[in-house]
Structures are given as C-alpha cells and as structure tokens.
C-alpha cells in the first residue's frame, strides 16, 4: 500500500496509530535514567533500531525518531551541544532503516521535539528568539534527514510550543506539525492553562494538529481531549497517554496500565475524534499491538462519549478595600516602616516584644524580611500573621522570587492574601550561595518586574497567570525595590520603568546617606521620562551605632556610600556613637522632606531600640 500525503491520511476514518515510549524501553534494557537517550543514536544505534522495529511489528503506522531531547540546551548538559545535527539526523535515519527492512512504504517518519529544558522570558532567562533558533536547529536537521511530520510533545508552556511551531513553519510551511501539550492531574498545564484555552491559543497560532500526551494516563487524556476538541472542533487531534501514573519499584520506574486497558481507550479516543493515537511513557510494543487489534476489529463498537462542559469560575465580587498603608500613601501621610528579621527559632516572643516597642513609638507598618542574607529563619508569613493578629499593626511581607517556581509563587500569593497579608515587597532576594545552604534551589521563574505585573494586572483583576479566573480578585498593595544612589542611574530608571509598567504602588529604597543623590535622581528621572517622579518612596534609613558599623556598610554593602563627614561625627561621639547615629538618621530624613513619602528604617543586628528613637524623633517633630 503506497503512502498517501500525511494530511490526506488523517482524513481517513481509521486513526493513524503511532508508536509508544522510547525512553521506557531503553531504560528497561539497562540505560541509566539520567543518560542522554538521544546520544544512543550514535553510540548504540542497534538498540534504538530494535525498538523501532518492535513498534512497527506491533502495527504502528507513524514512528517517532529518538530525538525528544536532542536540542542544544539539553545536549549541552551531556557535553554534546555541538552534536545537534548529527544526533537528529541519525535518529531519523534509524527510523527509515527500520521501515526499509519491512519492505513497506505506508509508514510515516516523525521527528520528535520536546521542551528545551530552560524557561523562556519573562519566567526564565532565554529570549523567545533564542528558543526559536534552538528549535530551528533541531527541526532543520530532521527535515534535512527526510521526516514526514514533526511531533512537538510534552510541552507545558504554551508560549514555548508556539515558538517551536513558528520555527517549523519558517523552515517549511507545508510540514505537518503535531502540537501536543501535557497536563497535571488537575487538568491544567504546569503553568495553569486549561485545555480549552490551550486549544484556542494553538489554533490562533496556526496549528492544524493539536493534542495531548504524557499526563497521568488514558482517563485523563480522554477528559482533556474532549475539552480541547470542544474548544476548537475544526482542528485535527492526537492522543498519546502514559501507561498510568508511574511508581518506583526496585529502582526502576514502572507503569500500571495494562494492554487491554489501552485497547479499550484506543476506541474511546477514536470516538472522541482523535485522528492520531499512540502511547507515551510506560507504553511498550504490547500496548501498541493491543490498540492496533482493537482499532482494526470491525466487531468492536465505539463507546458512547458524553460531552463535558469546561467549568470556569466567574468573578463574583469586587476586591477588598485598600490596605491602611495604601490609604496613607495615597493621602500624603508620612509613613514610618521598620524592617524586622524573623527569628532563627520557633519562638517569636522577643520579636513580638520589639514590635510592640516600635508600635508604641509610632511605627505605621512592620516590614518582615524573608531569609535575609539567605540565612535560615522562620517563615515571614507566620511573623506577619502574628504581628497583625496579636498587635494589630499592618505588615509588609517581603516576597522574593528567587527559589520559587511560578506555581509556588501564585499559590503563596493566594495563601498570603487569605491570611490578610496584602502589602507586598516584591524583590529578587539574596542569592543562596552567600547563606547557610549554598546548594539550595536558587532558580526562579519570574523576575520582580514581571511578578509585579502578574499581581497587579492578573490576581488583582481576578485571573491567574494563565488567564483563569480565581474568583474574587485579590487586593495587593505592591512595593518594588529602588536604589536612587545607584552608580548607573540611567539603568536604574530603565529597570524602574518596567516595575512601573507592572503597576508598582510604591517603592522601598536602599539605605541613603547623601541627600543630594536623591535630588539628582529626581532631576535625571524628569530629564529621561519628561515628567516628575511621583512614585511614593519610603526612604531607606540605617541608624548607625558605631564607626565599625559604618565602615562595614561603606565597604561591604553594594550601593551604600557614607560621606567622611558622617564618619567624623561618629568618631567624635565616642561612646555615644549610637545616639549620634540616631541624630544623623533624623537629619537625613528632614533634609529630604518633599522628596520622599516615608521612612523605611533598617536597624542592624536587632537594634530596634535605635529604630524606636528615630521614630520618636520623627513623631516629635510632626507634633511640634
């Protein structure tokens, strides 16, 4: 039987049967799970060839090359970054050899392309242009080797699979591209997208064949496939499930779904409308053979499939009232905030007593740092909740993006809002290599400026990052970091521009000891932006308590410069240096009246008594 054009084949009544897992078969033959399976195309081609032959004998009419991870980023992890073309071409040629050995000419060759293994901006570090170039390099090598189609599979980021689709289209507009996403057990992608929204985005990007692979097993694939088909019925669909949810048995990854179970679901997928059916992780030639027999048996009636409606929450309420801090900033009140570090134990009594001292002195709000200098401390959520519930004083929760993936970021934000913590300071966070656990997770999915936008334009509007409703909108009041004394003011303003576009409500500044630098920042901002700087700023104030303390800040903390005149005042004060430091802090704040909207007092080493003295000075002048 001659091979008809690929799209023409997909119009036939019988689905095109695809092969099953490659990595599962290689792992079961003894290949370590952390090895480069793609490299085997060069080093052990006979192993790969035997698996292709087994799937063809089982009845597969569409066979994928062993190239899922053969992109420059993943191959570089194995020292193979310069072997992209060789490995991809060898993978396609092995499929062609397996087909040639059968003497048949009705079997299609597909290139396999998986995610790059690195995040795209704004949630990662590589640009969309870099991602597209990597996909072009991989797909281009497969096209040169003679593929009939390319399968983009196991993607969880819609923007990334669209870059892969675009790369394929730019290389060959007529190349059939099968776009397959994977979904978590809650039927959302790892970035929170529902099946219907995925289907619509892929359709709008120009995809003609879409589907779902991997995930938890055939039952979930059937649910997701129905939702995708309902959202974009004009497209062609594929289904390639895992063999159930994996478990580790004797050091090996095992999958529970039987061949008979897969045979039944092959008919279900056909009834839903899938034109391509196959298997993913855990499936073996036996699963594909069972599916082949079921699809080929005219006595097997298709099951009845009911139409599932996708459930969407609707926004039913307005956001809560603004926080007291937001109200004060909006109405021109001079706000006084103090930073506190959570304790290194589970006993907060000393910190609560210090916070009571600050509240009595006249502090409006307490900033609670999150693992400052990457040291292990109690969760700042707990401290914020205790301060608000026991003392009735508002808090600003420091919310670093470092060490959090995008799912955790959104979950943590919703949890903090539930606890009543609605003032946030979004910041990158200190790198873990300087702290107690230098090998701890230091990666992040989203930069501070982008997280501010996600909060203000997403959660505060009632939707998550993927555009799904969260019900009632959040009402976060969000601060950004600002260094008005930066060595490169123009760069600082460019970064600030992104934070303002994201919707930052106010800023917390780096510690300042030179009032003239603040004036210079205001002047330069107006020159570059063509308008006065009007973002409310709580000025960083660091009460100095000794010459040694001042020298440490001056020499070891980036962005802080202490003039010689201040050093001299501390030296002349002798044993009364701490009181002189309080006076200096008060003078600095007074000299910047009208340029800032509040104080962000950052006491060192728990010297909250000095912070209380600074606050008392501020409030005394206000009363006078």
Q: Are 588 and 515 a contacting pair, CB within 8 Å?
A: yes
**Is 6's pLDDT higher than 80?**
yes
Contacts of 460 (CB under 8 A, 6+ apart): 319, 473, 474, 475, 476, 503
pLDDT at 472: 83
Structure tokens at 63: 């066979």
CATH topology for the 324-623 domain: TIM Barrel (3.20.20)
CA distance 249 to 251: 5
Task: From 116, 11, 30, 102, select the one nearest 60 (Cα to Cα).
Answer: 102
CA distance 16 to 276: 5
1 versus 128: which is more confidently predicted? 128
Q: Are 247 and 285 a contacting pair, CB within 8 Å?
A: no
Question: Across all residues in the chain, what is the average pLDDT?
Answer: 88
| Sequence ranges of the chain with CATH classification 3.20.20.330 | 13-296
Quickly state the pLDDT bin for 375 (edges 50, 70, 90).
Answer: low
pLDDT at 436: 34
Cα distances from 330 to residues 335, 449, 596, in angstroms, run 11, 22, 13
For residue range 29-45, list pLDDT tens digits in order: 888 888 899 999 999 99
CA distance 468 to 459: 10
Contacts of 475 (CB under 8 A, 6+ apart): 319, 320, 321, 322, 323, 417, 422, 460
DSSP state of 391: I
Strand partners for 152: 113, 179
Structure tokens at 85: 């073309």
For residue range 254-309, list pLDDT tens digits in order: 556 788 889 999 999 999 999 999 999 889 999 999 999 999 998 877 887 765 54
pLDDT at 347: 80
Cα distances from 480 to residues 134, 174, 319, 395, 518, in angstroms, run 34, 47, 21, 15, 17
Q: Give 264-287 as a DSSP string.
A: HHHHHHHHHTEEEE---TT--HHH
For residue range 570-607, list pLDDT tens digits in order: 999 999 999 999 999 999 999 888 899 999 999 988 88
Task: From 332, 339, 366, 337, select the one nearest 536 (Cα to Cα).
Answer: 332
Quickly state the pLDDT bin for 444 (edges 50, 70, 90).
Answer: low
Q: Among the CATH numbers 3.90.1150.10, 3.40.50.800, 3.60.21.10, 3.20.20.330, which is that of 13-296?
A: 3.20.20.330
CA distance 41 to 138: 15
Mean pLDDT of 519-538: 94
pLDDT at 149: 98
Question: What 3-state class would DSSP assign to 397?
Answer: strand
* Percent of the chain residues past pLDDT 70, beyond the cut: 90
623 versus 128: which is more confidently predicted? 128
Q: Are 86 and 42 a contacting pair, CB within 8 Å?
A: yes
**Is 374's pLDDT higher than 60?**
no
pLDDT at 316: 46
Structure tokens at 477: 């009041």
Mean pLDDT of 41-58: 97
Cα distances from 429 to residues 234, 448, 503, in angstroms, run 47, 9, 20
CA distance 209 to 287: 23
**Is 211's pLDDT higher than 70?**
yes
Q: What CA dihedral angle connects 510, 516, 521 and 526, to 10 degrees?
A: 150
pLDDT at 355: 92
Please give the biggest Cα pair distance in the chain: 100
HEC letters along 339-362? EECCCCCCCCHHHHHHHHHHHHHC
Cα distances from 383 to residues 351, 502, 606, in angstroms, run 9, 28, 15
DSSP state of 310: P
173 versus 429: which is more confidently predicted? 173
Structure tokens at 147: 């593929």
Task: From 348, 349, 404, 356, select the one nearest 377 (Cα to Cα).
Answer: 348
**Is 203's pLDDT higher than 90?**
yes
The pTM of the whole model exceeds 0.85: no
**Is 251's pLDDT higher than 60?**
no
Pairing type for strands 252-254 and 247-249 reads antiparallel
| Sequence ranges of the chain with CATH classification 3.20.20.220 | 324-623
Strand partners for 214: 241
pLDDT at 236: 98
Q: Are 128 and 86 a contacting pair, CB within 8 Å?
A: no
Cα distances from 351 to residues 22, 327, 342, 345, 393, in angstroms, run 57, 27, 8, 11, 14
Most confident residue range from 94-108, 294-308, 462-476, 543-557: 94-108
Phi, psi of 457 (to 5 degrees): -95, -5
* Percent of the chain residues past pLDDT 90, beyond the cut: 63
Mean pLDDT of 171-177: 97
Quickly state the pLDDT bin for 76 (edges 50, 70, 90).
Answer: very high
CA distance 282 to 612: 63
429 versus 602: which is more confidently predicted? 602
Sign of torsion, CA 160 166 171 176?
positive
Mean pLDDT of 483-507: 93
369 versus 171: which is more confidently predicted? 171
Cα distances from 56 to residues 180, 239, 252, 276, 427, in angstroms, run 22, 18, 26, 15, 54
Mean pLDDT of 213-220: 86
pLDDT at 471: 78
pLDDT at 434: 30
CA distance 343 to 378: 6
Mean pLDDT of 343-362: 88
């Amino acid at each position: 039987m001659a091979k008809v054009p690929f799209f023409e084949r997909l119009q036939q009544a019988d689905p095109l049967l695809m092969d099953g897992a490659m990595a599962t078969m290689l792992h079961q033959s003894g290949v370590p799970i952390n090895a480069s399976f793609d490299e085997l195309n060069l080093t052990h081609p006979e192993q790969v060839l035997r698996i292709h032959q087994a799937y063809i004998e089982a009845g597969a009419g569409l066979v994928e090359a062993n190239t899922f991870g053969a992109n420059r980023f993943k191959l570089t992890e194995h020292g193979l970054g310069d072997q992209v073309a060789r490995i991809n071409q060898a993978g396609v040629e092995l499929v062609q050899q397996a087909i040639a050995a059968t003497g048949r000419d009705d079997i299609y060759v597909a290139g396999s392309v998986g995610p790059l293994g690195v995040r795209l901006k704004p949630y990662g570090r590589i640009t969309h242009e870099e991602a597209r170039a990597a996909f072009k390099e991989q797909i281009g090598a497969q096209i040169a080797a003679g593929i009939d189609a390319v399968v983009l599979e196991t993607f969880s980021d819609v923007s990334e699979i669209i870059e892969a689709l675009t790369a394929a289209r730019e290389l060959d507009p007529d190349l059939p591209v099968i776009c397959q996403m994977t979904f978590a057990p809650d039927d959302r992608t790892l970035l929170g997208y529902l099946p219907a929204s995925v289907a619509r985005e892929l359709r709008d990007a120009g995809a003609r064949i879409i589907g779902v692979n991997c995930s938890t097993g055939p039952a979930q694939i059937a649910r997701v496939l129905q939702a995708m088909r309902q959202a974009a019925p004009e497209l062609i669909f594929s289904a390639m499930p895992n063999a159930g949810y994996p478990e580790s048995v004797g050091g090996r990854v095992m999958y529970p779904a039987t061949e008979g179970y897969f045979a039944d679901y092959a008919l279900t997928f056909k009834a839903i409308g899938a034109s391509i059916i196959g298997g993913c992780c855990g499936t073996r030639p036996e699963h594909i053979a069972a599916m082949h027999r079921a699809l080929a048996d005219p006595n097997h009636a298709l099951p009845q499939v009911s139409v599932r409606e996708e459930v969407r929450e609707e926004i039913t309420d307005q956001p809560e009232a603004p926080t007291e801090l937001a109200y004060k900033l909006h109405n021109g009140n001079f706000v006084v905030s103090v930073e506190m570090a959570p304790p290194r134990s589970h006993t907060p009594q000393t910190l609560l007593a210090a916070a009571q001292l600050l509240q009595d002195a006249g502090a409006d709000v307490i900033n609670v740092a999150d693992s400052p200098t990457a040291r292990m401390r109690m969760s700042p959520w707990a401290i914020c909740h205790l301060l608000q519930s026991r003392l009735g004083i508002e808090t600003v929760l420091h919310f670093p993006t470092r060490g959090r993936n995008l799912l955790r970021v959104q979950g943590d934000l919703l949890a903090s809002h539930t606890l009543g913590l609605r003032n946030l300071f979004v910041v990158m966070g200190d790198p873990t290599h300087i702290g107690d656990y230098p090998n701890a997770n230091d990666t992040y999915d989203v930069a501070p400026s982008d997280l501010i936008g996600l909060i203000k334009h997403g959660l505060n509007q009632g939707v998550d990052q993927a555009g799904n409703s969260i019900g009632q909108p959040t009402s976060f009041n969000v601060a950004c970091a600002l260094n008005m004394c930066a060595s490169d003011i123009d760069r600082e303003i460019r970064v600030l521009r992104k934070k303002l576009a994201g919707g930052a409500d106010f800023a917390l500044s780096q510690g300042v000891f030179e009032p003239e630098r603040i004036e210079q920042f205001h002047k330069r901002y107006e020159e570059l932006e063509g308008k006065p700087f009007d973002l409310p700023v709580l000025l960083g104030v660091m009460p100095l308590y000794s010459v040694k303390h001042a020298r440490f800040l001056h020499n070891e903390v980036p962005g802080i410069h202490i003039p010689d005149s201040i050093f001299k005042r501390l030296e002349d004060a002798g044993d009364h240096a701490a009181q002189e430091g309080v006076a200096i802090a008060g003078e600095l704040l007074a000299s910047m009246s009208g340029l800032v909207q509040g104080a962000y007092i950052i006491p060192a080493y728990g010297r909250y008594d000095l912070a209380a003295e600074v606050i008392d000075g501020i409030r005394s002048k206000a009363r006078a």
